[in-house]
Chain A
């Protein structure tokens, strides 16, 4: 056993029994921990990411409960200090461990190679290394956060992060490692998309999820190194006192903010672009209509990725930056809002004259449309300089980014998970409960965050452990919402987990989707495809017919031959 290497696992670890699939082709801890199979890596990422989400969620509930009353519900048990550590831990876990890797690493890993009809990603070993780095980074990060605490906020703003007694260095090393994990994933996806598309899959015949993952990967490899450098400099500042950010040594604390947001603003697009990709798939499949304005959506993913690099300064309108740069950043910010708005119009238009299947994934997609629209529109208040001065660093911003990150990314992630679940595990979940918990999540989410817009515009600053009485009513509503949201999320995951044991067997193509991952069996065999699948337009459903006997869609032999022109 001691000489097991990845090679022996991938080459001899599985059996070639044609009835086996990637889940059953080999077994044992090592066959998972050192697998090179993108599907298993995707599943492991999924488990890890949801563990992080759960931890972040429990912390969020603690924070919300604490804020029920102006001086803290738990009395001395949650002091000012521990509140500051709690919100830091919540933000850091959610950002670095959960939302940045979430969709690309879990769903992207599983789906992308299947979408291009390939056996794996371009660099399977690097893919495994990415996961190992994530685990290593996560353990390190958590140990650092839990044992030595961290109270800087996930933003690590200097000079506070230079002088706080908590262990910033340990936490930044963790974030640094996680950054490499992200870069590896991104690099892999770029090469996979560039070199492994099957004959016939031109750029404009790619599913939009691929476009989104591709655009995300560009940001991952271009922006993450900047975070790495920033964190290194911060460590240098703390350990060696190099005087780059420390004003008492001639450094500049505002420079840190520029560095930080130069990564972290593009990072918000790392979070949202894959979610937009999922929504493009879901809207089309469940409306049974080709996506409206395919070309525009594809280009806008890239446009958002690139323009997203130019707007970081909008986090710093009251930092003392010059009025001129504030004006320029504000203008650029508005220019990124247009592609997002048009995507929303396109998704809505896709439903026109469709045959809308209100299965759970579609319920999440509709919910996304509602919540993301609010998130995007409230960005306008923050992008406009005069209003941002008042709203910056208040709960209005907190509500805004939760609408885009939770209401957008997380909702799309869960919708995508429900969509690909039958493919991943070969089982169907309970549709009634799936929809029910989607509704609970939707309701709980709005109750949590709508009141935060109001208290923010009334002046409630963020990162406050205690507050003045006039804001209490909004905090109480928000806490009740958070509890509802928590129940909804746990329920939504439970429905999926229960289906693993009780679910009916899934057909190859339960939703009638036309992308290639639905042409192999559910779950896919170890090698994904026996023969390279035939590439068609990803959103043309005309030759798929529902077959009640198997509960899924099959190719209709009598369908008229598809025209060879593409769909857009």
Chain B
């Protein structure tokens, strides 16, 4: 009973080969701690109830030290923590040592974006991996410290600028089947090292696919523009290139998003302040406005917003890609 409670209460689902043994160690420490806690607090309460100050009660002499007792309660806990230490580090060494021939995904963290790069050249903004296969993550950061954390896998590793770190996983369950994301129940990936303003929204979804599905997905992802309709390609790019980081597509206009929402805006008018000017002008959201907002984002700022959007040079975003994004923006209501 207690253990079922402990399992469901303390953990996210176990979805990797290491999760089971991590939780096993956790449970071991938990029951050991519970035992000692009940023992100590039990004695404390018992002594209070038995010896509290009242009429007719006085203290009675007792030895103020006892070698046997003191040695016992030093040695037994030492042995127990020795056991914890042992299981802790053996499993940890296993987590730090990626198996050979693991499928390798490059993870590039930056403020406040994750990019996952697959061996065939595909890139994605959410993480996709195959089930039942060793996957090694090679972690990098482009600016400050970040930390790659997937609770359901029980893995975490900092991304350190100018240095590679790595971790690995073998997922044990898929999150759904097929390529349609809505038929999946994705896991979560968090940034666990504080990295500034948008640290708390630096989280992403993790999809675990059947091998065949994954192969298909990664193939398709490598050629976004060819393998998708322009709208679909635009949607993928919108997520992957970091637009979704600052612009909502559900009308959320709060300060949570530094940029204005972009759904249902096509063809509408807005007030913008051109650089160097103080009086706003009116512009319409059309192809050229969008293109200029991407290539030279600071030339005109929507009234009520601050400049700060990344300047997307042709290296960062190709012309064809902008075209796809425009198709996507037209399609979202």
Contacts and interface: CB of A to CB of B under 8 A. Distances in A.
Interface stretch (B75-83, B231-239, B273-281, B314-322): B75-83
Contact of B11 (A354, A392, A458): A458
A370 interface: yes
B36 interface: yes
B192 A377 contact: no
Contacts of A394: 192
A385 B88 contact: yes
A326 interface: yes
B25 interface: yes
B85 A247 contact: no
Interface in B110-144: 143-144
A159 B145 contact: yes
Interface stretch (B60-68, B173-181, B219-227, B262-270): B60-68
A377 B33 contact: yes
B87 A356 contact: no
B327 interface: no
A383 B78 CA distance: 14
7 contacts: A334-B85, A342-B73, A353-B51, A387-B25, A454-B10, A459-B152, A541-B59
B241 interface: no
Contact of A354 (B59, B85, B195, B254): B59
A334 B78 CA distance: 8
B11 A457 contact: yes
A387 B73 contact: no
Contacts of A337: 77, 81
A548 to B, nearest CB: 13
A290 B9 CA distance: 43
B92 A338 contact: no
B200 A330 contact: no
Interface residues of B, number: 86
A327 B91 CA distance: 11
B85 A76 contact: no
A467 B85 contact: no
B145 A253 contact: yes
Nearest to B152: A459
Nearest to B74: A342
Given A331-B89, A461-B200, A568-B65, 6 more contacts: A319-B160, A377-B37, A389-B155, A393-B156, A458-B10, A467-B200
Interface string B141-171: 0011101010110111110111101000000
Interface stretch (A78-86, A101-109, A206-214, A489-497): A78-86
A468 interface: yes
A198 B149 CA distance: 57
Contacts of B282: none
Contacts of A357: 52-53
Interface residues of A, number: 91
Given A76-B254, A466-B201, A386 B158 contact: no
Interface stretch (A182-190, A292-300, A437-445): A292-300
B188 A468 contact: yes
A468 B186 CA distance: 13
B121 to A, nearest CB: 27
B256 interface: yes
A318 B87 contact: no
Contact of B162 (A247, A351, A358): A247
Contact of B161 (A247, A289, A341): A247
Contacts of A369: 40-41, 44
A472 to B, nearest CB: 14
Contacts of B85: 330-331, 334, 383-384
Contacts of A9: none
B96 to A, nearest CB: 5
A253 B193 CA distance: 13
Contacts of B256: 71, 80, 466
Interface in A321-361: 323, 326-327, 330-331, 334, 337-338, 341-342, 344-345, 348-349, 351-358
A220 B93 CA distance: 35
A366 B162 contact: no
Contacts of A288: 59
B88 A330 contact: yes
A386 to B, nearest CB: 4
B256 to A, nearest CB: 6
Interface hub of A254, A294, A320, A454 (most chain B Cβ within 10 A): A320
A43 B333 CA distance: 65
A385 B90 CA distance: 9
Interface of A: 71, 75-76, 79-81, 83-84, 151, 153, 157, 159-160, 163-164, 247-248, 253-254, 287-296, 317-320, 323, 326-327, 330-331, 334, 337-338, 341-342, 344-345, 348-349, 351-358, 366, 369-370, 373-374, 377-378, 380-381, 383-390, 392-394, 454, 457-459, 461-468, 539, 541, 567-568
B4 interface: no
Given A71-B256, A287-B59, A295-B65, A351 B51 contact: yes
A454 B152 CA distance: 15
B158 A318 contact: yes
A378 B26 CA distance: 10
B3 interface: no
Contacts of A467: 200
Contacts of B89: 326-327, 330-331, 385-386
Nearest to A539: B64
B64 A292 contact: yes
A66 B311 CA distance: 33
B84 to A, nearest CB: 5
B157 A318 contact: yes
B194 A389 contact: no
B1 interface: no
Contacts of B199: 84, 463-465
Contacts of A253: 145, 160-161
Interface string B34-70: 0011001101100110011100011111101100011
Nearest to B58: A355
B163 A320 contact: yes
B302 interface: no
Given A380-B84, A384-B84, A291 B64 contact: yes
B203 interface: yes
B192 A386 contact: no
A153 B194 contact: yes
B291 to A, nearest CB: 29
B44 A292 contact: no
Given A160-B145, A326-B92, A389 B62 contact: no
A463 B199 CA distance: 8
B99 interface: no
B172 interface: no
B47 A338 contact: no
B161 A164 contact: no
Contacts of A387: 22, 25-26, 29, 88
Contact of A84 (B11, B26, B161, B197): B197
Given A380-B29, A392-B156, A338 B77 contact: yes
A172 B81 CA distance: 38
A52 to B, nearest CB: 23
B196 A323 contact: no
Contacts of B57: 355
B147 to A, nearest CB: 6
A282 to B, nearest CB: 13
Nearest to A342: B74
A454 to B, nearest CB: 6
Interface hub of B29, B157, B158 (most chain A Cβ within 10 A): B158
Nearest to A328: B89
